[in-house]
Structure 1
Amino acid sequence: MTAAKQVVYVVDDDQGMLDSTVWLLESVGLQAIPFTSGRAFLDACDADLNACVLLDVRMPGMGGLNVQEEMRTRGNVLPIIFVSGHADVPIVVRAFKAGACDFIEKPYNEQLLLDSVQQALSRFEHSRSGNSDHDGLLSRLASLTPRERDVLLPLVQGYTNREIAEQLDISVKTVDLYRSRVMKRMQAERLADLVGMAIAVKLIDPLHLR
């Protein structure tokens, strides 16, 4: 599938952000289709396209998480990348639990966004042909030391570094060190990535997080 045939639905009520995101995507040969409301997107979305969705979390009327829920109800499995200026852990967990493939904070790095979009499109194609990254994820998880796993669990559950230090009776500086190692071993650039991985391998139960 060539880039020209790949579609990115961009849903954001901020017209300036919407315009700049569409321009960015089109600059690399992707077809970007903009919407300023979740309802308008749902009415026009073609779930049979080789596409992904860039979806703002906070919008008037129908927010991004509600749009995601409606997509699932309709059997629409297009991959979703959430963007938000407020990426707190409960929102990230809820998004990933419902199947989001990434969560990017505003203001976003342009290359980071483009990489995420390309990965989403690629994974969607692979999923349609039965491929999965699940085994690789399990392998990375198995490579963690016991102490790294001790830090990983409360980290993805939403505890702060100081709270983790108190739980494990170690210094905050040591938690910082282990946190860095965990992110590197798991190939996670952001906490949102790590939360998604932990849910994907059923390491944590989203229903029992903080």
Structure 2
Amino acid sequence: MPDSDNTVYVVDDDAGMLESTQWLLESVGLNVNAYSDGRQFLEAVEDLKPGCVILDIRMPGLGGLNVQEELQKRSLDVPIIFVSGHADVPIVVRAFKSGAFDFIEKPFNEQLLLDSVQQALQDSGETAPMTAPTADTEARLASLTRREKDVFLPLAQGYTSKEIAEQLDVSVKTIDLYRARVMKRLGAERLPDVTGVAIAAGLLDPLELRQPTQPD
């Protein structure tokens, strides 16, 4: 269990989500400070107590990425767990490039969030960034077959099924099958989750991601 002296700051403009997240965290004995928008959060915290921040990406006025940037300008180094119901690859990449600890899509699994918070709190006192994959991530990656691994990395980089099929000289239907299997093995519901796993595991540099051009 994380140290009771730690504080989890939750910033979300969705009142229902803010309340339910606060209740979830307090139900396991965590200290929680909740804020309904990014500016309110920044005005309330001159300096952050040891802990972590759960930060919504999309909020009116000051979005999560802007809040992250402002914290960095103030030299407030704290693990940030981004949450979003509208994540896409460029947003995930920008968040991780800026030092995000984790990125979780809404609606999130409660245990997934609690696990991420616990790890963030454990690592919050460390100066070195987290580069090594967790045991769970390693186990999931190890479960991939050779062909699934061939699909995993270009999928994480943002390539489409058609582009991966051309790279591997197989049919699109085959890639779609492997894509579904990769996501299932990794516990990923959407593409940004796959990207996050690859970056967290140190298998993918955010700069190696394919830049989006035109929609398929």
Query: 1:100 maps to what in 2?
Result: 100
Residue 199 of structure 1 contacts residue 206 of structure 1 at CA under 8 Å; is this kept in 2? Answer: no
Q: After superposition, give the CA deviation of every residue in 1:129-172 in whole Å (9 maximum; x if it has no partner).
A: x69552779x8879977755542332122223343223322234
Aligned to 1:134: 132
* Structure 1 partner of 2:68: 68
- Could you say if the C-alpha distance between residues 144 and 14 of structure 1 is closer, same or farther in structure 2, counting changes exceeding 3 Å? closer
Matched-pair identity in %? 62
**Preserved CA contact (<8 Å) 2:158 2:209:** no
Q: 2: CA distance between counterparts of 1:24 and 1:3?
A: 17
TM-score with structure 2 setting the length: 0.77
Aligned pair count?
207
Call closer, same or farther: CA 1:207–1:51 in 2, change over 3 Å. same
**Residue identity opposite 1:29 in structure 2:** G
Residue 176 of structure 2 is aligned to residue 209 of structure 1:
no
> 2: distance between equivalents of 1:162 and 1:149?
17
1:16-66 C-alpha deviation (Å, 9 max, x unpaired): 211111111111100110111112212233655221111011111100011
**Inter-partner Cα distance in structure 1 for 2:134 and 2:33:** 33
- Provide the C-alpha distance between the structure 1 equivalents of 2:6 and 2:106, rounded to a whole number of angstroms: 24
Unaligned stretches of 5+ in structure 2? none
**Aligned-pair CA distance for 1:83:** 1.0
1:1-210 equivalence runs, <5 A: 2-45=2-45, 47=47, 49-125=49-125, 127-128=126-127, 134=132, 147-176=147-176, 178-179=178-179, 189=188, 191-199=191-199, 201=202, 203-204=204-205, 205=207, 209-210=211-212
Which is richer in helix?
A: 1
CA contact under 8 A between 1:6 and 1:31: conserved in structure 2? yes
Q: Secondary structure at the match of 1:26?
A: helix
Whether contact under 8 Å (2:9, 2:32) holds in the other structure is yes
Q: Unaligned stretches of 5+ in structure 1?
A: none
- Partner Cα distance (1:104, 1:56) in 2: 10
Once the two structures are overlaid, the 10-residue window that deviates more, 153-162 or 114-123, is 153-162
- CA separation of 1:21 and 1:203: change in aligned 2, threshold 3 A: closer
Between the aligned partners of 1:195 and 1:93, the Cα distance in structure 2 is: 8
2:104–2:193 CA contact under 8 A, matched in 1: no
RMSD: 3.3
CA distance in 1, matches of 2:117, 2:87: 18
Letter in 2 for 1:12: D
Counterpart amino acid of residue 104 in structure 1: I
